[in-house]
Copies of this chain bind each other. A is one copy, B any other.
Amino acid sequence: MLSFTGSRLDRADHVRADPERLAGYMNWKARLLALDGLMPAMDDEGGLAWGTLADASEDAELVFLGLDDGKACFAAVPAKGDASPRMANPQLWSLMATLRPDDLALYGGARSIVDWHARHRFCAQCGGDTRIAKGGWQRDCTACGASHFPRTDPVTIMLVEHEGRLMLGRGLGWPEGSFSALAGFVEPGESIEEGVAREVLEESGVKVRDVTYVASQPWPFPSQLMIGCHSFTDDDSLTIDETEMAEINWYTLDEVKASLAGNGPFRAPPPHAIAHHLMHWWIHK
C-alpha cells in the first residue's frame, strides 16, 4: 500500500453539509488532532496525539475530518503565520517511517486541508475575508459570496523505458547521486497522458509513447495527487533542460534493483515516495 493512503476515517460527507448534525458532533466526545503548526504531536506509543475541542483556541476554525469508529475527528486551522513547515523536512520523513500507515494517511489528509485554509483566508475573486463553511470543506467570501473549495493538484510522475533501461533524473539542488522519476504538474487543457508526454519532452527532450497509468498517491506538501505512469520511448538521446535538471541517466534493470537495495549506482527515492513504488513495480513487471 502506498504511503498516505489507507486512512481509517469515514469522511462522512453527509455530516459536513448538515449544520445541525455537524453541531451535534462538536461535543466533549469529539477528538481534536494535536498539531504544532503543521507538525503532528505524538502520543506515548508513537501514534498521533489527540485532544478535545477544548484544546483549540476560542477563535480557531475547525475542520471536520470525519468519523473514526463513530467518533468525530477535527483539526484546527493553524493561527496566522503558524502553518509550517511547508515542505517535507527530515523530521517528517522519519515520521513517515514510524507512524502507522493509517495514522500517516489521516495526518496527511488533515495537514493538506488545514494548510489550505491557512493559505486561503481571503477571496481570490474580490479580496474579501472568507470564512470556513461545510465543516471545513469550503470557504465562503463574506463580501461577494463566492465559494472556494480545497485544492488538490494533479502531478504526473513517470517511468520512461528504452530497451530495458529506465530514465531517471536528478533535479537541480538535489544531493549528488540521488535519482528519481521525472514529474510535473498537469496543466489546464491536458489529459494525464498529454501531461506525461509534455513533461518528459520538456525536461529530457525525449518523445514517449504508450503511456499507461500505474498507481496514485496523495502527497500532502501541500496537497498533490501524484499520478504514477509508465511509458516507452524509441529514442534515448537526451536534451536536458538545465533550468530544472542537473542530470538525467538511463539505468538497467540490474542497476535499478541494486540501487533500490541500497548498493547500486544511485540513491533511490525513499519507500514513502511513489517513485520508489514505481521502480519496484517496474523491476517486477
A120 close to chain B: CB less than 8 A? yes
Q: CA separation between A153 and B149, bound complex, in Å?
A: 10
> A interface, how many residues as a size bin?
35 or more
| A-B contact sample (20 more), CB < 8 A, given A14-B202, A108-B189, A122-B122 | A2-B191, A5-B193, A110-B189, A112-B189, A113-B188, A122-B124, A122-B126, A124-B124, A124-B130, A124-B148, A127-B128, A127-B129, A137-B187, A150-B187, A150-B188, A151-B153, A152-B153, A190-B218, A191-B217, A213-B213
* CB 8 Å contact bits of A251-277 with B (1 = contact, 0 = none): 000000000000000000000000000
Q: CA separation between A273 and B122, bound complex, in Å?
A: 34
Contacts of A120 in B (CB 8 A): 124-125
Contacts of A125 in B (CB 8 A): 119-122
The answer to whether B192 touches A216 (Cβ under 8 A) is yes
Q: CA separation between A182 and B140, bound complex, in Å?
A: 26
Q: CA separation between A158 and B159, bound complex, in Å?
A: 26
Residue from B121, B122, B123, B185 in contact with A152 in the complex, judged by beta carbons closer than 8 Å: B185
Contacts of A109 in B (CB 8 A): 187-190
Residue from B5, B154, B220 in contact with A188 in the complex, judged by beta carbons closer than 8 Å: B220
* CB 8 Å contact bits of A8-28 with B (1 = contact, 0 = none): 000101100100000000000
Contact A191 to B124, CB < 8 A, known contacts A152-B153, A186-B152: no
Q: CA separation between A138 and B281, bound complex, in Å?
A: 35
Residue from B124, B202, B217 in contact with A121 in the complex, judged by beta carbons closer than 8 Å: B124
Contacts of A124 in B (CB 8 A): 119-124, 130, 148
Q: CA separation between A153 and B186, bound complex, in Å?
A: 10
Show the binding face of A for B, using Cβ within 8 Å: 2, 4-5, 7, 11, 13-14, 17, 105-106, 108-110, 112-113, 116, 119-130, 137, 146, 148-154, 185-194, 198, 202, 213, 215-218, 220, 223, 225, 227, 241, 243
Contacts of A122 in B (CB 8 A): 122-127
What is the minimal beta-carbon distance from A72 to any residue of chain B, in angstroms?
17
Contacts of A150 in B (CB 8 A): 187-188
